[in-house]
């Protein structure tokens, strides 16, 4: 692997994977703490028809149109889920199951129709992502990392994800206390005048944007995995809100880095001329971290609890 290969192939693809992972890991905290992990699953599927319509209207992968389409689809999904839950008097999970699967199926059919009109999008890309298509052809050497002309050619997915990371990080910092109260104690939040509903829909909106920013590169399933696994692992390791957030971000970023390395560059270094699906590998690494956290978590881990029980029995 030459330096140029690294700059043109692995750097943009790896960075994109890591940024998608960190973005989802940040947002996932609030889902896991609110017991709404499945909302992430639902939204990441339900945005699909909006993405396709955005694609077709823009005639290309124009980020703004696609994001508008996805946001509209997410809003529609949120409204429909609530309507079905109330009118049908079924649990929220069942109502989600109806809405997101129908919207996803609609998206798949739309894709097949759009593909007939030569729109560059297919169902496989939605499920697994196309990390190998994230290329940065501009660099000619290390100096290009500081060259504005080359940097301007950074792949669109990478730039979008970086911007989303920044925006989500800022929003979370800005509303840190409110998010904490609405996540841990929604009743208290509304008692002291924090609009919990507004925060819920704000979160849904951010999820939709994150799902769109990530899906092209890493696919919708990695989004589901990275929304759930890092935050769940952090939940097994700590009770403190600040640490929960920091751990989840670290686990998400680390899984992204490790998963990407295991899937491609490591195999190359070992002299093999093929690679594995990086998005899938990142999900596997995040799942493995969760298993480790469940087993070895200091207070809530399975082994720690067993030891505590044995000690209590001995006394």
> Taking a C-beta distance cutoff of 8 angstroms, is the pair 199, 252 a contact?
no
234 is a contact residue toward other proteins (CB under 8 A): no
Q: Smallest distance from the beta carbon of 150 to other proteins, in angstroms?
A: 31
CA angle 191, 192, 193 (to 5 degrees): 95
Distance CA 199, CA 178 (A): 9
Range in contact with other proteins (rule: CB under 8 A) among 27-35, 143-151, 159-167, 184-192? 27-35
Q: Please, which residue, 154 or 228, has the CB nearer to other proteins?
A: 228
Q: Between 186 and 287, whose beta carbon lies closer to other proteins?
A: 287
DSSP SS3 for 120: coil
Q: Convert residues 52-91 into a mask of x (bound to other proteins by CB under 8 A) and - (unbound).
A: --------------------------------x--xxxxx
- Does 280 participate in binding other proteins (rule CB under 8 A)? yes
In whole angstroms, the minimum distance from the beta carbon of 218 to other proteins comes to 10
Kindly compute the dihedral angle of the four CA atoms of residues 233, 235, 237, 238, in this order, to the nearest 10 degrees. Answer: 160
Figure out which of the listed residues 104, 199, 215, 245 binds other proteins, where binding follows CB under 8 A: 104
Largest Cα–Cα distance of the chain, in whole Å? 74
In the stretch 183-222, what mask flags binding to other proteins with x, by CB under 8 A?
Answer: ------------------------------------x-xx
**Residues found near other proteins in the complex (CB under 8 A):** 31-32, 35-38, 40-41, 84, 87-91, 93-98, 101-102, 104-106, 108-109, 112, 116, 123-124, 127-128, 219, 221-222, 224-229, 231-232, 235-236, 263, 274-277, 279-284, 286-288, 290, 294, 300, 302
């Amino acid at each position: 692997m030459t330096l140029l290969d690294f700059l043109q192939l692995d750097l943009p693809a790896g960075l994109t994977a890591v940024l998608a992972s960190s973005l989802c890991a940040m947002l996932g905290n609030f889902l896991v703490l609110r017991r709404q992990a499945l909302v992430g699953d639902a939204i990441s599927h339900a945005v699909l028809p909006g993405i396709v319509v955005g694609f077709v209207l823009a005639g290309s992968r124009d980020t703004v149109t696609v994001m508008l389409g996805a946001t509209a689809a997410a809003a529609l999904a949120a409204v429909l889920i609530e309507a079905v839950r109330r009118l049908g008097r079924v649990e929220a999970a069942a109502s989600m199951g109806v809405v997101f699967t129908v919207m996803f199926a609609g998206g798949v059919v739309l894709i097949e129709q759009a593909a007939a009109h030569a729109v560059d999008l297919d169902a496989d890309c939605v499920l697994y992502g196309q990390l190998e298509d994230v290329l940065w052809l501009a660099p000619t050497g290390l100096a290009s990392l500081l060259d504005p002309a080359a940097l301007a050619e950074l792949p669109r997915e990478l730039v979008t994800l970086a911007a989303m990371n920044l925006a989500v990080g800022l929003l979370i910092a800005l509303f840190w206390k409110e998010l904490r109260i609405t996540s841990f104690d929604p009743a208290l939040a509304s008692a002291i005048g924090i609009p919990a509903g507004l925060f819920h829909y704000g979160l849904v909106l951010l999820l939709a944007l994150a799902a769109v920013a990530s899906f092209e590169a890493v696919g919708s399933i990695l989004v589901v995995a990275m929304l759930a696994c890092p935050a769940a692992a952090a939940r097994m390791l700590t009770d403190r809100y600040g640490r929960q957030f920091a751990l989840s971000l670290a686990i998400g970023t680390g899984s992204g880095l490790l998963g990407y390395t295991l899937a491609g560059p490591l195999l190359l270094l070992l002299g093999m001329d093929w690679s594995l699906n990086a998005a899938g590998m990142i999900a596997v690494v995040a799942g493995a971290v969760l298993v480790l956290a469940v087993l070895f978590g200091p207070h809530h881990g399975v082994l720690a609890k067993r030891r505590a029980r044995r000690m209590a029995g001995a006394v």
